Structures are given as C-alpha cells and as structure tokens.
Amino acid sequence: MPFDLGSLRLSSGEGRRIDVPIALEPVAFGGQTYAPDVDGDIPVTLDIARTTGQGYSLRLRYSVGLDGPCMRCLEPAREEVVIDSREVDQPGGSGDMNSPYVEDDVLDVEGWAREALVLALPTQIVCREDCAGLCAECGANLNQAGPDHSHPKPPDPRFEKLSELRFD
C-alpha cells in the first residue's frame, strides 16, 4: 500500500511519526531465499518532515528476523536485520535530493522497505560466525564432522606421468 504523504497536510518545518504496516516478501540473496519470521504485516516507523520548498525529509525504521539456509553449510540460519534508512525528496531536486520512492506526494513504503532491507543485509548469512561450512570433497557438514575430517590427497598427475617413464 503506497502512503499518501499529502494526506498528512504538514506545513513547512512540521513533522510526524507514524507506524505503517507493510507486507514483506521473502528476499532472494546469494542464490537462497530468506523469509521474514512473522506472519502478516511488519510495522514500519516513518518519520516524515516537510522541508521548506514543499519537499519531504523521510526516515524509515524497522527490524525483522530472516529465516533461511546458512550460506556455508545450508543448515537453518537466522539473521536479525535492523533497518534505518533516510530519504529526501525535494521538488526540482536532483540525485540524492530526489527520492525514487516518492512520486507526487505518494510514498512507496514497501518498495523502500524492501530495498533498504537488501542494503542492510550482511555479506553472508551464516548459522554462526565460525561456521566451518561443507567439505569441498564430499559435502560433509564440517561443523559435525569436526576438524579432523580430511581426505587423502589424490596423487599429483605430474608425478603420475613421471612414474610412467622408464629409464632403461
């Protein structure tokens, strides 16, 4: 649901804080899917201030837990993400002063909330900081297999060729 900023009828310099419920879709990240751990809507806190010159200064905050596979071992992982994002939309403004989420005084809260979430994600979602991941050879979970898990090194093909040589 887009939010109509104009309906607040703020005058220049005036501000308002409101909570808006949004529906948050699962997030695709690093080839995996992470789903919000709540059923239904997530409350998002919006701080809306009217700037001089008929613009808006906006702040969006919320937090959400995401459930999905650990990127190293594929066991269930959970990431708590705290989002705190700011936007400015100034008529006639350019670049940073022209929010992509505001169009004719209407704010795309969900679009903003979604993109701010992606930006707030860590580089990797893991089950725990020191997750050892999977064995590159056999795919065993190294958290369970332990540090002694190893495979005999395959013979180096160069030495194999050497052993075929005969010196008569």
- Nearest approach in angstroms of CB 11 to Zn ion is 53
Instruction: Produce one character per residue of 43-80: b if its CB has 16 or more CB atoms within 10 Å, e if not.
Output: ebebebbbbeeebbbbebbbebebebbbbbbeeebebe
- Nearest approach in angstroms of CB 68 to Zn ion is 11
DSSP string for 42-60:
EEEEEEEEEPTTS-EEEEE
Binding residues for Zn ion, rule CB under 5 A, total: 9
Tell me: does residue 20 bind Zn ion (CB under 5 A).
no
With respect to Zn ion, which residue has the nearer C-beta, 81 or 127?
Answer: 127
Q: Which of 73, 81, 107, 134 binds Zn ion (CB under 5 A)?
A: 73
- For residues 28 and 32, what is the distance between their CA atoms, to the nearest angstrom? 6
Tell me: does residue 72 bind Zn ion (CB under 5 A).
yes
> What sign has the CA pseudo-torsion 63, 76, 120, 105?
negative
With respect to Zn ion, which residue has the nearer C-beta, 79 or 110?
Answer: 79
- For residues 87 and 66, what is the distance between their CA atoms, to the nearest angstrom? 24
Tell me: does residue 106 bind Zn ion (CB under 5 A).
no
- For residues 157 and 72, what is the distance between their CA atoms, to the nearest angstrom? 30
Residues 124-153 that bind Zn ion (CB under 5 A): 127, 131, 135, 137-138, 140
Site string for Zn ion, 52-71 (x = CB under 5 A): ------------------x-
Which residues make up the interface to Zn ion (CB under 5 A)?
70, 72-73, 127, 131, 135, 137-138, 140
